[in-house]
Amino acid sequence: MKERQEAIKRYIERKGDVTLSELTKEFSDWSEMTIRRDLEFLEQRRFLIRTKRGARIMPTSYEVSVGMYGEREKRNCDLKQEIAAKAAALVETDISMYLDAGSTAMMLARELPDRNLIITTSAPNIGIEIVLKKKNPTVILLGGTLQRKTISTCGLNVLDQLKTLNIDTAFVCASGYTESTGFSVGGQHECVLKRAIIASARRVIMLMDSSKLNSILPFTFAQLSDIDTIVTDSKAPESIKAAFRAAGVHVL
């Protein structure tokens, strides 16, 4: 596959769906015809499907996150992308890691290197995404009741399941953070799961875009002292980042 085609693929994967005119503007070094042919090529390889006036990412599990939660998710897409890229750089080969549910985690899944990894996750859509798009990682899904809102599982026996799994690095997402309340989420089940993960992982990396700073959700699952690193985006206020660092947390 050519470099241009790779680039187009990546662009569409980031955006979800694009119009041809958008692509011709983005890749203005080439003619519309060439891009059109590239889309045809990429469609044949099942990387995307062509729509009326453009193309759309081949929706495997992607649609489950982006499609479900709706437009809201797309808005902070660039922030999350930035976070995902930074977080992916922290992933070492042959590591045993946990990947949380959520759209940021989905983006991280996409950015992961196609190498030997053991990836445990409670998000079946993310697990499927990885298994379909990469050849090398091993994916372990946690069992349990599948939650409609979050597309993640939670079971009464999570602790049992984690007992035989040794997780080195856990990538955890939060929906809210304030200094006084710590990291919080909207669901009770998620909260329990995240706590268990944090307790068992050697290293905890929190993924949180700046729009979630200074908001509080019903259930707190962690404090600053529980985590090792926070990956956030460039729009995060310097004051909060300084406070993180003061608490001994790495900030990226």
Partner DNA sequence: AGAAAATGTGTGATAATTTCACAAAAGATG
Partner DNA sequence: CATCTTTTGTGAAATTATCACACATTTTCT
What crossing angle do the helices spanning 103-111 and 77-88 adopt, rounded to 10°?
50
The rounded Cα 116 to chain-centroid distance in angstroms is 19
Least Cα distance to 215 among 198, 240, 194, 191 occurs for 240
Q: Count CA atoms within 13 Å of residue 153 on its CB side.
A: 20
Residues 6+ apart with CB under 8 A from 40: 50
56 touches DNA (CB under 7 A): no
63 touches a copy of itself (CB under 8 A): yes
Size of the site for a copy of itself (CB under 8 A): 40
Candidate residues 4, 78, 155, 243; the one interacting with a copy of itself per rule CB under 8 A? 155
Candidate residues 28, 44, 93, 164; the one interacting with a copy of itself per rule CB under 8 A? 164
Candidate residues 37, 45, 46, 202; the one interacting with DNA per rule CB under 7 A? 37
Under 8 Å between Cβ of 140 and 165: yes
50 touches DNA (CB under 7 A): yes
24 touches a copy of itself (CB under 8 A): no
Candidate residues 2, 25, 52, 72; the one interacting with a copy of itself per rule CB under 8 A? 52
103 touches a copy of itself (CB under 8 A): no
Task: Output DSSP code: residue 66.
Answer: I
Considering the complex, what minimum distance in angstroms separates the CB of residue 18 from DNA?
Answer: 11
Least Cα distance to 92 among 210, 5, 220, 203 occurs for 203
68 touches a copy of itself (CB under 8 A): yes
Task: Output DSSP code: residue 223.
Answer: -
54 conformational bin, left if phi > 0, alpha if psi -120 to 50, beta if neither: left
Q: From the list DNA, a copy of itself, none, which binds 160 (C-beta under 5 to 8 Å, kind-based)?
A: a copy of itself
The rounded Cα 199 to chain-centroid distance in angstroms is 21
Residues 6+ apart with CB under 8 A from 204: 169, 170, 172, 197, 198, 222, 226, 227, 228, 229
The rounded Cα 20 to chain-centroid distance in angstroms is 27
196 touches a copy of itself (CB under 8 A): no
31 touches DNA (CB under 7 A): yes
What crossing angle do the helices spanning 103-111 and 124-133 adopt, rounded to 10°?
20
* Between 2 and 52, CB nearer to a copy of itself: 52
Q: From the list DNA, a copy of itself, none, which binds 4 (C-beta under 5 to 8 Å, kind-based)?
A: DNA
Q: From the list a copy of itself, DNA, none, which binds 40 (C-beta under 5 to 8 Å, kind-based)?
A: DNA
Residues at the site binding a copy of itself, with contacts judged by CB under 8 A: 46, 49-52, 56, 58-61, 63-64, 67-68, 124-125, 127-128, 131-132, 135, 138-148, 151, 153, 155-157, 160-161, 164
Residues at the site binding DNA, with contacts judged by CB under 7 A: 2, 4, 19-21, 29-34, 36-37, 40, 50, 52-54
